[in-house]
Amino acid sequence: MYKITIKRSADKELNKILKGNLKAGLKIRTFLKELEKSENPFATSNARKMEGYENRWRWRVGIHYRVVGIKQDEVLTIEIIEISTKESVDY
């Protein structure tokens, strides 16, 4: 299992989403908990390795949101660096 850490900027974005769209925010929060419990979070159907990056992955959450994280093998950690709509994801 992987440990999930959330970068401060991603946590702020999640809080903004929770204030503006509670249902979507709760869906993202639930997804992050499920991701942490997953044996292999990179084998899920909504996971994609990002081209041009060695260890960067993105997960689709619902229709409009993307969670971007960095895989850190040495400690089995995924650092969530961005949570935003698919239109504004800054890869």
Question: Is the distance from CB of 48 to CB of 69 less than 8 angstroms?
Answer: no
DSSP readout, 13-55?
Answer: HHHHHHHH-HHHHHHHHHHHHHHHH-S-TTSSTTEEEPTT-SS
Q: Where are the domains of the chain?
A: 3-85
The residues near 46 (Cβ < 8 Å, ≥ 6 apart) are: 59, 60, 61
**What pLDDT digit, counting tens, does each position of 64-80 carry?**
999 999 988 766 678 88
Residue 90 confidence (pLDDT) above 80: no
Secondary structure class of 11 (helix, strand, coil): helix
Q: Is 2.40.50.140 the CATH number for 3-85?
A: no
**What pLDDT digit, counting tens, does each position of 4-46 carry?**
899 999 999 999 999 999 999 999 999 999 998 998 899 999 9
Q: Read off the pTM.
A: 0.84
3-state helix, strand, coil in the chain (%, to 5): 35, 35, 30
